Amino acid sequence: MLQRLSRPLPDATYCCLTQPDNPEVALHSPPGPGRWLETLFMCWNPAGRKRRPERVGDEELEEWLLGFLLGPHDQDARNQFLAEMYPIGWRLIGLLRRFGVRAQVRRDDQYHRPGAGHYSHERKTIILPRRQLGRDDDYSVVRHEVGHAIEHLITALCNQNQPISEFLWQGFSAQRTGFVSDYAQTDPEEYFAESVEGYFQDEGYRVLRDEDPGMFAFLDALFETSNL
């Protein structure tokens, strides 16, 4: 059972996600990626248990995205964060929001971690230095860290807290001929996060499609459904 955050969302759509919104949905796929997607998008409502599961408008989606941000941040940082989050899709954005994921953009001199960004599973918080927003090389640290949050979400809601990245790492190994980046080879968690980030870049998309078709098919279904 997931525990309620100590800092709950201020709106009525928040719930602690201890049980599916649609628990009577019949799932037919065997354990694995297809069943995770069925569970995520058929059993859980991104807009909240008391809302109809229909697409939200742009204004409300922007409010959802702004609700991720903790603490002070400048206007440019806010706009860049929103721009890098939008492609994830409204359904995943809504579910991550209900799950309690937050993001904190810190001044560069206040960020002391070794990596470009960090996702805290315990706090469900993405932590980013300001310099990593809107990079010149088009790499999105936001989407990489959101990849970690998405894995956390699906692992908790759809796979009984068994990390989905380990299943995908092993399950797609026979058909995989390459990784989306060198860093993706580090471990299953980074494999998943880097694949999420790469999916939204032309070269990463090509590598996933041609060299890691299993992961490509999973992410393609995930983000296409999230944007429906």
Regarding the domain with residue range 33-226, which homologous superfamily does it belong to in the CATH classification? Collagenase (Catalytic Domain) (3.40.390.10)
Q: What is the mean pLDDT of residues 3-22?
A: 53
Nearest Cα neighbor of 147 from 164, 162, 122, 171 is 164
- Least reliable range by pLDDT among 22-31, 36-45, 203-212: 22-31
CB atoms within 10 A of CB 74: 12
Considering only residues 193 and 5, tell me which one the structure prediction assigns the higher pLDDT.
Answer: 193
Secondary structure of residue 107 in the 3-state scheme? coil
Q: Is the sign of the CA dihedral 38, 90, 105, 124 positive or negative?
A: negative
- Of 13-27, 36-50, 76-90, 130-144, the least confident: 13-27
The answer, yes or no, to whether residue 220 has pLDDT greater than 90, is yes
Answer yes or no: are the C-beta atoms of 152 and 121 closer than 8 Å. yes
Residue type, 178: G
Q: Does the pLDDT value for residue 93 go beyond 90?
A: yes
Query: For residue range 151-168, what is the model confidence (pLDDT) as tens digits?
Result: 999 999 999 999 999 999
Pairing, β 125-129 against β 118-120: antiparallel
In the prediction, which pLDDT does 63 show? 95
pLDDT at position 48, please?
Answer: 87
Q: Read off the DSSP letter of residue 55.
A: P
- Element of type H or E holding 206: helix 202-211
How does pLDDT run across 94-134, given as a tens digit for each residue?
A: 999 999 999 999 887 777 777 788 999 999 999 998 888 88
Confidence of residue 16 (pLDDT cuts 50, 70, 90): low
Domain residue spans in the chain?
33-226
Range with lowest mean pLDDT among 41-50, 112-121, 165-174: 112-121
pTM given for the model: 0.91
Q: What percent of the chain has pLDDT over 90?
A: 72
Burial class from Cβ neighbours inside 10 Å (0-12, 13-18, 19+) for residue 174 reads: exposed
Average pLDDT, the chain: 89
Please tell me the distance from the alpha carbon of residue 86 to that of residue 90, in angstroms, as a whole number.
8
**Strand pairing class (69-70; 102-106):** parallel
Q: What is the pLDDT of residue 153?
A: 97
